[in-house]
Structure 1
Amino acid sequence: MGQWYLFRCPKCSYETECSEGPDRGMYAAVDPMICKDCKEVHNVCVGEFSKNGDYKDLEKPECPSCEGNNLKDWVKQECPKCGDKMKRSNQSHILWD
């Protein structure tokens, strides 16, 4: 089961809901990434599980907002707007399968 958290930038107040790192549910694997085109942090689907449990990496992961491929790993929870470190809420915000 995957978990999303609310992250907020203390400097510019940008907020997003996403996983803290690579995460997976029953049908998909995601990585939080920054889309360089829309300047947002999203959980990006990087792989899928078939009904029989086989896993397949996606060749070109896409931003769920703009469908672009200009993505970079979200390291150290940097804010895509100002570059400051974002703070995670203490409780998981969403649980998903």
Structure 2
Amino acid sequence: MDERSSWAEMRAEVMARPGAGAAYEAARIRFELGAAVRGLREKAGLTQIELANRAGLKQPAVARLEAGGTMPTIPVLERIAEALGTRLSVEFRPLREAG
């Protein structure tokens, strides 16, 4: 069995694999979108079921989105934004400024 001396070394090994950086970035985006939706939902005082009903979704879909388990489409994000009384804003930023 291969011994590793630290988490940082193991992460570096995994990230060195082809496609790992892109997969990590996609997961980060899903997580951030989910956290943003959850924060807005909680601020509005809504349950997942209430948000789902307002957005024309099922509660499990909202739960998956909030957990970062799915990459929502722009139309779904627009429906969620409207259900939360907000406006969806999508922007492009130079890589050096991106999260």
The interval holding the TM-score normalised by the smaller chain is under 0.3
Q: Higher relative contact order by CA 8 Å / sep ≥ 6: 1 or 2?
A: 1
TM-score (norm. length: structure 1):
0.22
Name the larger-Rg structure. 2
Q: Greater helix share, 1 or 2?
A: 2
